[in-house]
Amino acid sequence: MKLQTLPIVLALGLFGAAHAQGGGGNMPPSFEEFDADGNGYVTQQEFTARHEKRMQERAEQQRGSRYAQGAPDFATLDRDGDGRINRNEFQEHQQLRWEQRRQATPGNGQGKGMGKRKGSS
From the first residue on, what is the mean pLDDT of each consecutive set of 10 residues in the chain (121 residues)?
46 43 64 96 96 85 64 92 97 91 73 56 53
* Residue 24 amino acid letter: G
Left, alpha or beta for 85 (phi > 0: left; psi -120 to 50: alpha)? beta
Give the model's pLDDT for residue 117: 56
Number of domains in the chain: 1
| Dist. CA 42–CA 45, nearest whole Å | 8
117 lies in some domain:
no
**Residue 42 maps to a domain:** yes
Q: Is 116 within the bounds of a domain?
A: no
Q: Residue 6: its pLDDT value, please? A: 43
What is the pTM (predicted TM-score) of this model? 0.61
Dist CA 28 CA 84 (whole Å): 19
- Within-domain flag for 17: no
Asked whether residue 30 is assigned to any structural domain, the reply reads: no
Residue 46 domain-assigned (yes or no): yes
Residue 94 included in any domain: yes
Residue 62 inside a domain? The answer is yes
Domain membership of residue 45 as a residue range? 38-102
